[in-house]
Structure 1
Amino acid sequence: MRLALFLLCLLAFAFRPDKPAYRLYTPQLKATTYAKLLRQATQADVVLFGELHNNPICHWLELQLTKDLQAAKKENLVLGAEMFETDNQTAISNYVQGQTDGKELANQARLWPNFDTDYKPIADFARQQHIPFIATNVPRKYARLVSRQGLAALDTISADGKQQMVPLPLTVDLTLPGYKAMMEMMGGSTHGSTPNSANPHGATNDMSANFARAQAIKDATMAHFILQNLKTGQTMLHFNGDYHSKNFEGIVWYLRRQRPTLTILTLSSVELPDPEHPASENRNLADFVLAIPADMTKTY
């Protein structure tokens, strides 16, 4: 009898009746629900969905959240995305407004290679429902310029180019944990690099610091164009790589500097061996932690 009971328990553990594609958690890793995510997102000014770029669950849930927020907010929903650069705004708007087709969009805008599978369903829904879609990311040529030469190199670009990014000069605090970790990962140091009023670009000019500054120009530009396109009563649902909003840094930090009273909701995506048992290092990543099985198939 005991042996039979043991075997039943073993089978129940080995073959779970449910294999969820994702789980949602609070910052303290308490299980929560999509209904709570939707309710809080509806009440937020800005929702930052921190995705894993090649994860199909992220993209599917982004689409579901877009549809449900549109049902709740109607004309008060605005979309924005890291995946579209500010100098491509006209091309994105023309497509969403039904003035061009997909082929014309591909010819006019720099689309990510996974656009058709991962972002086109959202763009098409925006097109059907007449939802504004904002290109928020800095043009990659300017981010590349910063990564190679530092922030001072932006002083050399044209007036039109400067309209496509956050107003200069830009404050970058390289001691923030996210930027600091990025520099340390590349073997750099934050010693002597913190900017101030006399030295807005920071003292150091090494590769790791400039790489972090390139990340910051993206974060700051996304925050700037989110605020530029957000009206009272609206919710901006913004799609970005997880690192741009994880730990309430990146875009969040720049949003808070410009508008401290803004209601911001963040979601951080993580891949885990067992989404049912997130580890302690996943605490406080965001307002909602999206846990996805590590062996989930990828879109590329």
Structure 2
Amino acid sequence: MSRRPLALFAAVALAAILALQPAPASEWEAPHLQDHPLVGRIWSVEQARTLSREDLRRHLQGAAYVLLGEVHDNPDHHRLHGQVLQWLARGAGEGPGVAFEIFDREQQPRIERMRAEGVREAERLGRELEVAARHWPWPLYRPLVQWVLDHDRPLVAANLSAPRAARIAREGAEAVLGAEAVHRLGLDRPLPAAGRQLVQDIQEAHCGYLPTHRVGGMVQAQRARDAVMAQSLQTLAVRPAVLIAGNGHVRRDYGVPFYLPGDGVLSLGFLEVSEDRRRMANYGDTLQGRYDIVWFTPRVRVTDPCEAFRQQLEGMGQEPGG
């Protein structure tokens, strides 16, 4: 038999063997739009270009503060957060300290006490701090907290508690925190013009049902949470200091970066792709000034989150705010 038929036979046999192998599992866990052309894209907003993972790793090494955004219940965002923490741990220095939105500032003494007592299990820490009871998807956060404990890194409770935020929304930041704290946190500084998008974003987050007279209080509460998270990050004695929080909190135009001093802040948003935005050109300049870098992933859901909210409120006999 000539070499050519032998080569052809070998190629056909190899193809048959490969056809019997199971297809590799998708890298992604979020179920929707996994085949979207932007999924997996890492985009430098400032440079307007795609980054490789190695490019991103190099960007991270120069930052004093690394802010990692998320959609709270997207498992891919948490998995990629873990990748970023590993990169930072392999960089110069002793490794990152990590601040979490899911823990309230008032819980920091309990965290310190538990760690001093030798607690090394994230499950126990999360249970005693009642993370799931406060409606956070704790199973998604648990591996990240376990990583911090396993590597003996500083862990900071970053968030303003929900009861205090609600009081600020009703009574105002100065009435709840005091004038001195408002000044120290930077809450007396007006947001830049671009940051006024916060008002519209809060209205959209409430699906048009937030009464107009309550918008100002909600803006104060959101700003207070961002300022407290920034203050919490600065308590970390190590650099880089990492914050894991929702995408809205890590935005440069009105989020935590506004309250952090100087340079050295890197904001990395983890964004779910949209069916109607299949190319970077579809975003225009809407990302400009919001994040330094964005990392696109599939979506957890494709339903309109406002529809269920609207039906629930209408069932209670409520009308949109005006």
Query: Is the Cα–Cα contact under 8 Å of residues 95 and 127 in structure 1 kept in the other structure?
Result: no
Q: Which moved more, 1:285-294 or 1:213-222?
A: 285-294
* Aligned residue number for residue 283 of structure 2: 280
CA distance in 1, matches of 2:291, 2:297: 15
Question: Structure 2 residue aligned with 1:293, among 279, 284, 298?
Answer: 298
Query: Is the Cα–Cα contact under 8 Å of residues 46 and 236 in structure 1 kept in the other structure?
Result: yes
Question: Structure 2 residue aligned with 1:132, among 154, 164, 173?
Answer: 154
* Aligned residue number for residue 214 of structure 2: 207
Query: Is the Cα–Cα contact under 8 Å of residues 183 and 208 in structure 1 kept in the other structure?
Result: yes
Query: Is the Cα–Cα contact under 8 Å of residues 46 and 263 in structure 1 kept in the other structure?
Result: yes
CA distance in 2, matches of 1:184, 1:94: 40
Q: CA deviation at 1:60?
A: 0.4
* Aligned residue number for residue 4 of structure 1: none
Do residues 39 (structure 1) and 39 (structure 2) align? no
TM-score normalised per structure 2:
0.68
Distance change (3 Å), C-alpha of 1:295 and 1:88: closer
CA distance in 2, matches of 1:20, 1:220: 32
Instruction: Give me the CA root mean square deviation.
Output: 3.5
Distance change (3 Å), C-alpha of 1:103 and 1:250: closer
Query: Alignment partner of 1:289: what SS?
Result: strand
Query: Alignment partner of 1:243: what SS?
Result: coil
Residues 241-280 of structure 1 mapped to structure 2, 5 A cutoff: 241-255=246-260, 259-260=261-262, 262-273=263-274, 277-278=279-280, 279-280=282-283
Query: Is the Cα–Cα contact under 8 Å of residues 131 and 138 in structure 2 kept in the other structure?
Result: no
Distance change (3 Å), C-alpha of 1:73 and 1:128: farther
* Aligned residue number for residue 191 of structure 1: none
1:113-164 Cα offsets, whole Å, 9 max, x none, are 44542111011111111111111111222111011222233157xx9xx7xx
Q: Percent identity?
A: 20
Question: Structure 2 residue aligned with 1:99, among 113, 118, 121?
Answer: 118
TM-score normalised per structure 1:
0.73
Distance change (3 Å), C-alpha of 1:142 and 1:295: closer
Distance change (3 Å), C-alpha of 1:166 and 1:21: farther
Q: Which moved more, 1:217-226 or 1:175-184?
A: 175-184
1:247-294 Cα offsets, whole Å, 9 max, x none, are 443111111xxx22x301111122223686232245323111111223
Aligned length: 256
Distance change (3 Å), C-alpha of 1:106 and 1:127: closer
Query: Which letter does structure 2 place at the counterpart of 1:39?
Result: R
* Aligned residue number for residue 196 of structure 2: 177
CA distance in 2, matches of 1:148, 1:210: 6
Residues 1-300 of structure 1 mapped to structure 2, 5 A cutoff: 22-27=40-45, 29-94=48-113, 99-100=118-119, 101-102=121-122, 104-112=124-132, 113-155=135-177, 167=184, 170-171=187-188, 173=190, 176-182=195-201, 185=204, 206-231=213-238, 234-255=239-260, 259-260=261-262, 262-273=263-274, 277-278=279-280, 279-281=282-284, 282-284=286-288, 285-294=290-299
Q: CA deviation at 1:94?
A: 4.7
* Aligned residue number for residue 23 of structure 2: none
Q: Which has the larger radius of gyration?
A: 2
Query: Alignment partner of 1:238: what SS?
Result: strand
Query: Alignment partner of 1:269: what SS?
Result: strand
Query: Is the Cα–Cα contact under 8 Å of residues 248 and 266 in structure 1 kept in the other structure?
Result: no
CA distance in 1, matches of 2:200, 2:244: 23
CA distance in 2, matches of 1:168, 1:39: 31
Query: Which letter does structure 2 place at the counterpart of 1:277?
Result: R
Q: CA deviation at 1:96?
A: 5.4
1:70-101 Cα offsets, whole Å, 9 max, x none, are 12245241111111111111333455567234
Provide structure 1 residue ranges, at least 5 long, that are not aligned to the other structure. Answer: 1-15, 189-204
Query: Is the Cα–Cα contact under 8 Å of residues 122 and 145 in structure 2 kept in the other structure?
Result: no
